[in-house]
Amino acid sequence: MECGRSRETVKRSDLAGWAQYGYCASHSRFFWGLRLHLVCTLQGLPVAFALTGAKADERETLLDLLAAEPHLLAARRGQTLIGDKNYYGLTFEQELAQQGIQLLRPTRKGERQRPGGPLFKPLRQIIESINQTFKGQLDLEQHRGRTPRGVIARVMQRILALTAVIWHNDHTGQATPRQLTSYDH
């Protein structure tokens, strides 16, 4: 989530110290801002999230998120977590395995083929679809937050909006739980 473009904005922003410079592969550019880390169901229902500086290690963030929300895994052993290629490392995967989580991610260069590789591509499309819902329909990238409280409030608005839509669509029998079009006025 970009929070500023000019050097002057970065210098005077209330987000200085939290927001950082990072690289966005989907836009192929560097940015100054924050990253939203989400744990969602396959239907796109947000289960847990963290908002960090752009340089925060994704693996450490996930482990911290799981430690902060131990009830997520307590009654659900044997969960499969789908992530991108940055969720790598033997120690990291062992820590997840100790919590009963199997990690499904693409194979990195120089690695031998990982189990579940053929399953990954269609599942990865679900992840990109959830990201696009936040970026496109819920305008997360145009959050206009200027202070930490403002950014947090705007991110929470989007997460709660998506959660409410999925809950409502599920309870009214809609075919697509993450369908926001009927609420887009």
- In this structure, what CATH number is given to the domain that contains residue 69? 3.30.420
The whole-number mean pLDDT for each consecutive block of 10 residues of the chain, a chain of 185 residues, reads 74 80 79 86 86 92 91 82 87 92 87 79 78 77 80 88 85 75 58
Q: How many domains does the chain contain in total?
A: 1
Distance CA 32, CA 161 (A): 26
| pLDDT 10s digits, 34-57 | 888 989 888 888 889 999 998 999
3-state secondary structure 61-94: HHHHHHHHCCHHHHCCCCEEEECCCCCCCHHHHH
Q: Which residue range forms the structural domain that includes residue 51?
A: 2-183
- pTM over cut 0.85: no
Distance CA 97, CA 79 (A): 10
Distance CA 48, CA 37 (A): 8
Distance CA 151, CA 170 (A): 29
- Six token digits for residue 35: 């990253």
Distance CA 126, CA 81 (A): 13
- The whole-number pLDDT of residue 57 equals 92
Which of 85, 164, 4 minimizes the C-alpha distance to 177?
164
- The whole-number pLDDT of residue 65 equals 92
Q: Whole-angstrom distance between the N-terminal and C-terminal Cα of the chain?
A: 24
| pLDDT 10s digits, 159-184 | 888 888 888 888 888 777 767 666 55
Which of 65, 46, 39 minimizes the C-alpha distance to 160?
46
Residues near 15 by Cβ (< 8 Å), separated by ≥ 6? 3, 4, 33, 34, 145, 146, 147, 148, 151
3-state secondary structure of 104: strand
- The whole-number pLDDT of residue 182 equals 61
- The whole-number pLDDT of residue 119 equals 76
Strands 101-104 and 79-82: parallel
Distance CA 153, CA 147 (A): 10
**What number of residues does the chain have?**
185
- Six token digits for residue 145: 């937050």
Which of 102, 127, 105 minimizes the C-alpha distance to 114?
105
- The whole-number pLDDT of residue 49 equals 92
